[in-house]
Amino acid sequence: MSAVSLEHVSKIYQPRRRGWKQLFGQPAAPGFQALNDVSLQIEHGEFFGLLGPNGAGKTTLISILAGLAHATTGRASVCGYDVVADYKTARRALGVVPQELVYDPFFTVRETLRIQSGYFGLRRNDDWIDEILFNLGLADKADTNMRALSDGMKRRVLVAQALVHRPPGHRAGRADRRRGRGPAPHPVGVHFAPEQGRPHHHADHALPRRGRSALYAHRHAQRGTHCRPGHHAGAAGAGRRRGSRRRVRAHHAPGRPGRAARPEPGRGRIVSQSDTSAASRPLVQPRLDAGSGFPTLLRKELLRFWKVSFQTIAAPVITALLYLLVFAHVLEGRLVVYGSVPYTAFLIPGLMMMSMLQNAFANPSSSLIQSRATGNLVFMLLPPLSHREIFAAYVLAAVVRGMAVGLCVWIVALFFIPLPPQNLAWVLLFAMLACGIMGVLGLIAGLWSEKFDQLAAFQNFLIMPATFLSGVFYSIHTLPPFWQAVSHWNPIFYTIDGFRYGFFSVSDVSPWHSLAVVAGVFVVLSLYALRLLGSGYKLRN
């Protein structure tokens, strides 16, 4: 059993969008083939370096091993575990150091390592974390925020994150670090060096004395072509001049014994030639007793908004207070709703629900878009987290934030008018379902949006109009018949109306009807979000 195995792996990136020309019958643009029938074996205890020019497919090849991309055809395995069928065990066998300096600015060094360890199900790992910090010279920076570290220190933290779950195989980033370019957290080197049950790490990018390197010049081998060692640029140039032909080359580093590799004619395959002494070393198996990473992801999302609670909790409460001051001063005594309910009392549940909806939407959407912009989203994708665990963690964190904001708004509103709920069960039920709906919508928006302006458009042109036109400030019975009918097509109206029923035992429609609509919307949106996450939509491709 090889440490790493690739069998006839191909990868084609399909165009994401259908353009206007395709709508009128013109053929769609062909997909981009990053890999074409590549096979590769790396034995236990072997050092292996994968080299090649830009665009050769190195990042795609290793991203398939790490679970950051899905192969179109073929099979990839780590320590004998298929990276798709048995992805949890396969990912526990790898440690990944991203190429760029990516980090989460909300956390300290120790918190970062605890979170990464927890993603792999290791939540009581402080002894190993302390040892890693000491060996990497980070012990005195353990409680320092990641933003305050130098570039060298940040790179050491990346190495620590790759080792924190004790992988038997360690993957190092590639040496040609790109300066002044956007985040590209893709691993491009492999290093297997188990020794006495622990992974081994080399800080430099030199090939160790026992190992082999392979020049993966292009995506496909050229039939009958052999390259001389030391002519990397010439090989790449020849491939470009020929256009469609691709080739793979491996060579010995001068004075460094190890396994050689040569291209098999007609295939993108690296074939071993000699020296199997490195393969005789046993490979430490990945930990199979680790738990789920869901509690850690949930805790991380909760900590994320709690660390900036003035922005995420206090600011929405102040905004709701301003609405209450203005509308209560202008309309109190001039408008009575439901026959005997003062307008200020009528307004408070609407303001509570509006604040809950907006903040429940903002929590997952802002988390995903910021993680994508800074590049640290890769740290959530590399661990063995299932799409159901990711969904549950983001949505539950959104519910907690939304309900925390709603509770604070209600406490502040008590200074204006006493408003005890008459039916607490209805209040809690509609609050949780409403926050759940917005949490799922925020998750979908965060997956769909690639830029902040796309997320802002989603919020400004969909969420905010639907919220303001749902009866926050009025009863729909005050509207003309046409607009009453339109309001019944707005699912947010049912969340607010059912929520008000819990306070006054009076509503515009039956609370059971509202509950059926709200629960149905939540189920449909949840199934859609789970499908997006399960397919890796804009995450793993």
Q: In whole angstroms, what is the distance from residue 251 CA to residue 127 CA? A: 41
Q: What is the domain count for the chain?
A: 1
Rounded CA Rg of the chain? 28
Q: What pLDDT sits at residue 23?
A: 54
Q: Is residue 44 part of a domain?
A: no
Q: How many CA atoms lie within 13 A of 518 on its CB side?
A: 26
φ, ψ for residue 122 (rounded to 5)? -105, 95
Phi, psi (degrees; rounded to nearest 5) at 131: -65, -40
CA distance 415 to 408: 12
386 within some domain: yes
Q: What is the 3-state secondary structure (H, E, C) of 404-468?
A: HHHHHHHHHHCCCCCCCCCCHHHHHHHHHHHHHHHHHHHHHHHHHCCCHHHHHHHHHHHHHHHHH
Position 474 scores a pLDDT of: 83
The token pair at 299 is: 């805790």
Nearest to 413 by CA among 335, 337, 493, 350: 350
Q: Please report the pLDDT score of residue 287 as a whole number.
A: 59
Position 53: which residue type?
Answer: P
What pLDDT was estimated at residue 28? 62
Look at residue 540 in the predicted model and tell me its pLDDT.
Answer: 81
DSSP 25-61: TPPPPPPEEEEEEEEEEE-TT-EEEEE--TTSSHHHH
Using CB atoms within 10 Å of the CB of residue 197, give its burial: 0 to 12 exposed, 13 to 18 middle, 19+ buried.
exposed
Whether the CB-CB separation of 190 and 171 falls below 8 Å is answered with: yes
Cα separation, 81 vs 478, in Å, equals 64
Whether residue 50 contacts residue 189, with contact meaning beta carbons closer than 8 Å, is answered with yes
Give pLDDT, residue 252. 39
Host domain of residue 356: 294-535
Q: Is 540 exposed, middle or buried (0-12, 13-18, 19+ CB in 10 A)?
A: middle
Q: Which helix (H) or strand (E) holds 77?
A: strand 73-78
Other CB atoms within 10 Å distance of the CB of residue 388: 12
Q: Are 32 and 12 in contact (CB under 8 A)?
A: yes
Dihedral sign from CA coordinates of 99, 100, 106, 110:
positive
| 61 assigned to some structural domain | no
User: DSSP letter at 218?
Assistant: S
Residue 158 is assigned to a structural domain of this protein: no
pTM: 0.78
Residue with tokens 């030391």: 230
Listed in sequence order, the residues at least 6 apart from 325 whose beta carbon sits closer than 8 Å to its beta carbon are none
- Give pLDDT tens digits along the chain (541 positions): 788 899 999 998 877 655 555 555 566 667 788 888 888 888 887 788 888 788 888 888 889 999 888 899 999 998 889 999 998 888 988 888 888 899 999 999 999 999 999 999 998 899 999 999 999 999 999 999 999 999 999 999 999 999 999 887 444 444 344 333 333 343 333 333 333 333 334 333 334 444 555 555 444 433 333 333 333 322 223 333 333 333 343 333 344 444 434 334 333 433 333 343 433 333 445 555 568 899 999 999 999 999 999 999 999 999 999 988 887 777 666 666 676 788 888 889 999 999 999 999 999 999 999 999 888 999 999 999 999 999 999 999 999 999 999 999 999 999 888 899 999 999 999 999 999 999 999 999 999 998 888 899 888 898 888 888 888 888 887 788 888 888 889 999 999 999 999 999 988 899 999 999 999 999 999 999 999 999 888 888 6
What does the block give as tokens for 3? 């440490």
* Three-class SS state of 233: helix
Beta pairing, strands 211-216 & 47-51: parallel
Q: What is the pLDDT of residue 242?
A: 35
H-only helix segments in 86-231: 87-92, 109-119, 126-135, 151-163
| Tokens 């029938």 belong to residue | 37
Instruction: Burial-class residue 153 by CB neighbours within 10 Å (0-12, 13-18, 19+).
Output: middle
Residue 471, pLDDT score:
84
d(CA 20, CA 37): 33
Residue 82: φ, ψ to 5°:
-65, 135
Domain assignment of residue 522, yes or no: yes
- Contacts for 123 with CB less than 8 Å, ≥ 6 apart: 114, 117, 291, 295, 296
Residue 52 CA to residue 65 CA, distance in Å, equals 18
Distance of CA 426 to the CA centre of its chain: 34
Is 362 part of any domain? yes
Q: Is 521 within a domain? A: yes
Q: Return the amino acid letter for 340.
A: S
Identify whether 301 is part of a domain.
yes
3-class secondary structure, 539: coil
